[in-house]
Amino acid sequence: MGKKTKIGLIGCGRAGMIHARDMMYSVQDAQMVCVSDVNEENARKAAEELGCEYCTDYLDVLKREDIDAVIIAVPTKFHRDIAVEAAAYKKHIFCEKPMAMNVPECGDMIAAAQENGVILQIGFMRRFDTSFQRAKEIVESGKIGEVVMVKSLTHGPSTPHEWMYDIAKSNGPLAEVNSHDIDTVRWLTGAEVKSVYAIAGNYRCSQAREKYPDFYDSVLMSVRMDNGMMGCIDGAQGVEYGYDARVDIVGTKGLVTIGDLKDKTTVTYTKDGGMTGDVVRTWMNLFTDAYIAEDRSFVECVRENREPLVSGWDGMMAVAVVRAGNESIRTGQVVTLQADR
């Protein structure tokens, strides 16, 4: 057995700990060395669970010579600076989505990784899900003919943290929820987004309406791809009924569907209650295996010095579409993407 790839975690929230646990228990060639969080209690608890060291300043992670790669799982507004510094310390980078706040920030991250010869992978785990991968294979086989439209839906059960209400600081649900859908449309059409038209509204988060009038918890976005294909993105937060992630791929000769709100196949039938069944409650349950596959792939890329399946370019294009969508919501106009957006 060769030397393990030593990993540092920056950000000990839900997403960060999913990756850390994967690296600790499910990725044979990885080893968690140190975790960092500005909240010392969070960092300490994470370190105790993982059996590693902790700190509150991420620079202490980057300065360690025994760490090969870092996972960045902090709020989006910090991604650019941490990633650029990580690259300067020659650390390979796994960055959770959304990649950054805007395209120039993404460009800085890509340039820093290239200049320092490190891997930069973005956290679009749906590409590693077996159902999504099978759909991609079917599309490429030509079984459903030419793709006409990809419709991707993500509805989340929980309401946002308050900092997410400020669109200027979070880029809103299009970034926090629908980045995955944007990447799915790009991936399954094999094309880039040419133009978007989006409408949105705040229907569930009444507490945000006065202080954050631009916030929306529901959004619909129509997309035109540069190869003529179409996309439709449906996003919502605070739906309460469960975690809902589904995709339809419409072709000239058929249809591929991915996902089901129903969790498991057990259904209960009663005289009084009719028919009932369980639904998927969180994204953590739905994509458990995809997260593991994603983290394994990252470590393999580091060890083999090869390009990741989800690159900085993919992250940057998703951010460009998010920004265009928010502009469309704000102006009520169709927005055409520019190279420098």
- Give the CA count within 13 Å in the CB-facing half-sphere of 245: 22
What is the residue whose two structure tokens read 């593991």? 292
Q: Helix axis angle, 179-189 relative to 130-141, nearest 10°?
A: 30
Residue 258 DSSP symbol:
E
Strand 30-36 vs strand 53-55: parallel, antiparallel, or unpaired?
Answer: parallel
Least confident of 98-112, 135-149, 150-164: 150-164
* Interval 164-209: pLDDT, tens: 999 999 999 999 999 999 999 999 999 999 999 999 999 999 999 9
Q: What is the pTM of this model?
A: 0.93
Q: Would you call 243 helix, strand, or coil by DSSP?
A: coil
* Interval 28-69: pLDDT, tens: 999 999 999 999 999 999 999 999 999 999 999 999 999 999
Alpha carbons 199 and 4: distance in angstroms, whole number: 48
> Phi and psi at residue 311, in whole multiples of 5°?
-95, 175
Alpha carbons 126 and 120: distance in angstroms, whole number: 17
| Cβ contact 41:68 at 8 Å | no
* Helices of type H across the chain: 14-25, 40-50, 58-62, 79-88, 103-116, 130-141, 162-165, 167-170, 172-176, 179-189, 283-286, 288-304, 312-331
